[in-house]
Amino acid sequence: MDKQKRFHLVFSMVMGLLMISLMTCVITAVNIGFTPDFLNKWLHAFGVAYVVGVPVIYFVAPLARKLTGRLFGMP
């Protein structure tokens, strides 16, 4: 795997970690509140979302970059 592909993979994993942890925390808190089992519910939601979210980020990020470039008239 070349350096650019490794970068994109690691970027997807880091972006997934940051975004998915924040979003699952917020949504879990909204749905159940800060109950005694909050941490277990949050970690479960995070695990499911991370497994789904990282591949989505990996494949969708290039498309999002292209679309954003077109919106701003950039190559």
Task: For residue range 36-62, list pLDDT tens digits in order.
Answer: 999 999 999 999 999 999 999 999 999
7 in a domain, yes or no? no
- For residue 55, give the amino acid letter: P
Give me the pLDDT at residue 1, please.
Answer: 82
What are the φ and ψ backbone dihedral angles of 33, each rounded to 5 degrees?
75, -175
Structure tokens at 73: 């008239």
Cβ(10)–Cβ(59) under 8 Å? no
Confidence of residue 75 (pLDDT cuts 50, 70, 90): confident
C-alpha span between 31 and 4 (Å, rounded): 39
Count of domains observed in the chain: 1
19 in a domain, yes or no? no
C-alpha span between 57 and 59 (Å, rounded): 6
49 in a domain, yes or no? yes
Residues spanned by the domain of 49: 37-69
14 in a domain, yes or no? no
74 in a domain, yes or no? no
28 in a domain, yes or no? no
Reported pTM: 0.83
